[in-house]
Structures are given as structure tokens and as C-alpha cells.
Amino acid sequence: MTPFQWIAITFIIGAAGYELVIIRQQRSVRLFGLFRGVIWFAAALAILFPNQIGRLASLVGIGRGADVILYSFVLVFLATTFYFYSRYLRLQRQITDVVRYMAIQEATRGTEEQTLEEV
Amino acid sequence: MPDARLTDDSAIWIIVPAYNEAARIDQTLAPLCRAFSNVVVIDDGSTDATAEIAARSPVWVLRHLINSGQGAALQTGIDFALRQGAGIIVTFDADGQHDAGDVLRLVEPIRRREADIALGSRFLGKTIDMPWTRRVMLKGAVWFTRFFSQIAVTDTHNGFRALSRKAAETIRITQNRMAHASEILDQIRENQLQFCEVPVTIRYNVATLEKGQSNSAAMKIAAQFLLGRLVR
């Protein structure tokens, strides 16, 4: 194994171990924990057996194994960005609804200082 | 029999979204309060005394706990005015750009039932001390809107408009920030609301230009508008 493989595998074992701990403490939904575990496992495989990625690359018509990783990252990055932006906008709208509700409930009339409930 | 909600001046509700306008809000409100009994100031989470100063005038004051943007503040004001039985809702900037004397002219097409929404146009009307860079930016915004919203207007980001009750109930602003102006035009087209443009006067000065949208912010507004269309 190359020095990079040692470093990367050590990091992945640490991350997977942490994943196990939070699943055991039930701080994470088990399904999502498993999903993240699969991702780490796939990363470990890709680092330990780079030639297999090269074979996968030629299988799907891409020249190099590194390109498969790069293209996959681009796709996942775009999908994730869009997903989180959607979530962000929806959350922002929900917060605005709460802010609006409170503003209307606590409306006051200038100089007279009375709330809607008192009118 | 004429509908009192259209003919009576007390049926007109003026919505004034304000953010950090402590220095100008009283000057903006004074002519409005002289002419109209229903003025609503939405303090959009200001860090200065905007709400306190506004409350010295006979207006309704609504406070956003956090700064949510002009679009959000307008929708809050519209919701409030509708609940209070408004017949016509006018949106009016807090920074003193608009002329209170234009309000009755703006609502006239709605009173005559010729339009559901009347949009103020500075390019049909008059601009005072408008820098040429601002003119170029606003003309660009007009072309942008004509292309994306497919609606023929001469002024797009003018905060001076009048909405009939029907239009106010139909339009729902979801673009919290400045892109709401384009969103309103989108919804006019989508909901097939009748609209017209009315010449209005916009007055620029150093303070309003500092407070207004910088030319570089125009790109950001365009991006917000397009992204907001993707996420409904």
C-alpha cells in the first residue's frame, strides 16, 4: 500500500467508527447512518483497488478511473447544491411566515399604542 | 350603486415597508397621513428607531422580528390590510422617493374598474436627479423582465403600485428580497390580471441613492429571481 492509501484508510476507518458510535447512541437515523457507511465503504474500495475503478471507467466509456470519480463528484455536487438551495428557500419562507404572523398579531396603532386585540 | 370599497378614500390602505429609515420615515409619512387614514408601516427588523419614530404618526406599525426583505414586508402589509377590509392597497417606498400626491392618480384606474393593478412608471412620468447609471440599470431591468416575464412594461422595479382587493388576494409574494418586483409581474401575467401603467414622479437624492439598490446588486436580484422560479 502507498503512504496515501495508509493515510486515507486510517481516516475512513476513523469516520466509519464515529458513524458506528452515533448509530449506537441513536443520535442518527439508522438508515442515513447506513447510507453514509456505504459511501465510506465505497471510498475505501476506490482507494484500495484503484485498478478496479479504471476497469469501471473503461466499462462506461470513460478513459481514466480518476475521471469517473471527477464526473461523479460534479454530478453529486450539483444535485446536492440544488437540493440544499431548495431546502434553504423553503425554510426561509417558513421563517418568514412565522415573522409575518407575529408582526400582524402584535400590530400597534401609532400614537395610541394599542394592539389589534384591544381594538 | 358605487362600491364604497373603491370610491371611499378610507378604503385605500398605504403599505410602507421600511428598513433603517429613522432619518426619513417621518417626512415620508407626514403627507400620507394628511391625505389617508390607513397607513401601515412594516418595520423590517430595523436596527435603528424606525418603528419608534413611525409610531409617533397615526399609522399602523407592524414589526418583523428579523430583517426579511422588502418583498416579505410588502406581503405582511398586504395580508394585514386585507384583514382590515382594504378595498385598494398602495405600496409606497419609505425613503421619500415617491410623491404622496400621485396616490389618487394611481388608484384611479382601479376605481374606474379599468385595471386590477396599476403600476407606477417613472419612465412615463418624471424622474428628478436620476443618475444616468441608474437609468441604464433600470432600462436593463425592463428588458430582462420583458424577456423572462413576457410582460410589456416601461418600468419594472418601481415600488409604487396600487392593487385592487382582488389583485392583492391573488398575488402572493414569495421572493423575500428585491426580486419580488419581477415576481409580481410574473403573477400578473400568470393570473391574467388586468394591469396598466400610470406616470409617477420619482425623486432621487444622495440618501435614497445610498439606500437604493447598487448597480452591482442588480445581478444578484436577477439571480435570485431566476433561482426562485426554479424552487416554487
Q: What is the pLDDT of residue A27?
A: 65
Helix (H) or strand (E) holding A80: helix A65-105
Q: What is the pLDDT of residues B114-134, one digit of tens each?
A: 999 999 988 787 777 777 777
| C-beta atoms of A110 and B228 within 8 A | no
Buried b (16+ CB within 10 A) or exposed e, B126-141: ebeeeeeebeebbeeb
Average pLDDT, rounded, for chain B: 86
Please report, rounded to a whole number, the percentage of residues in chain B having pLDDT higher than 70: 87
Q: Is the pLDDT of residue B139 over 60?
A: yes
Q: What is the pLDDT of residues A11-64, one digit of tens each?
A: 999 988 888 887 777 766 677 777 888 888 888 888 888 888 888 888 888 888
Q: What is the pLDDT of residue A119?
A: 45
DSSP labels for B136-160?
A: HHHHHHHHHHHHHH----S-SS---
Residue A57 sits at the vertex; the CA angle it makes with A54 and A63, to the nearest 5 degrees, is 90
Q: What is the pLDDT of residue B215?
A: 61
Report the complex ipTM.
0.81
DSSP label of B192: T
B17 Cβ under 8 Å from any chain A Cβ: no
Separation CA A101–CA A81 (nearest Å): 30
B65 Cβ under 8 Å from any chain A Cβ: yes
* Contacts with A112 from chain B: Cβ below 8 Å: 58
Q: Which of A90, A101, A108 to mutate to test binding with chain B, by most B CBs within 10 Å of its CB?
A: A108
- A107 φ, ψ (degrees, to nearest 5): -60, 140
Q: Which of B56, B65, B74 to mutate to test binding with chain A, by most A CBs within 10 Å of its CB?
A: B65
Q: What is the pLDDT of residues B63-82, one digit of tens each?
A: 999 999 999 999 999 999 99
User: Which residue is closest to B228 within chain A, CA to CA?
Assistant: A89
B53 Cβ under 8 Å from any chain A Cβ: no
Q: What is the pLDDT of residues B44-58, one digit of tens each?
A: 999 999 999 999 999
Chain Cα centroid distance, residue B140: 20
Amino acid at A106: E
Separation CA B156–CA B121 (nearest Å): 8
Helix (H) or strand (E) holding B64: strand B60-64
B229 Cβ under 8 Å from any chain A Cβ: no
User: Which residue is closest to B175 within chain A, CA to CA?
Assistant: A93
Q: What is the pLDDT of residue B109?
A: 95
Q: Which residue has the higher pLDDT, B68 or B10?
A: B68
- Domain B4-228, second-level architecture: Alpha-Beta Complex (3.90)
Please report, rounded to a whole number, the percentage of residues in chain B having pLDDT higher than 90: 53
DSSP labels for B12-51?
A: EEEEEEESS-TTTHHHHHHHHHHH-S-EEEEEES-SSSHH
Average pLDDT, rounded, for chain A: 84
Bridging pattern class, strands B12-18 and B88-91? parallel
* Contacts with A85 from chain B: Cβ below 8 Å: 227, 231
Separation CA B183–CA B189 (nearest Å): 10
Nearest to A104 among B58, B76, B176 (CB): B76
Q: Is the pLDDT of residue B59 over 90?
A: yes
Any idea which residue has 418583523 for its cell?
B64
- Residue B99, all three cell numbers: 410623491
| C-beta atoms of A111 and B174 within 8 A | no
Q: What is the pLDDT of residue A21?
A: 84
Q: Which residue has the higher pLDDT, B112 or B175?
A: B112
3-state secondary structure of A108: strand
| C-beta atoms of B83 and A104 within 8 A | yes
Residues facing B196 on adjacent strands: B118
Q: Which of residues 78-107 of B touch A (CB under 8 A)?
A: 79-80, 83
Q: What is the pLDDT of residue B230?
A: 64
How close does chain A come to B52, measured CA to CA in Å? 9
Amino acid at B72: A
Residues B202/B128, Cβ–Cβ less than 8 Å:
yes
- To the question of pTM greater than 0.80 for the whole model, the response is no
Report which of B107, B130, B128 is spatially closest to residue B198, judged by C-alpha positions: B107
Amino acid at B112: R
Q: What is the pLDDT of residue B4?
A: 65
Q: What is the pLDDT of residues B140-182, one digit of tens each?
A: 777 877 777 778 888 877 889 999 999 999 999 988 877 888 8
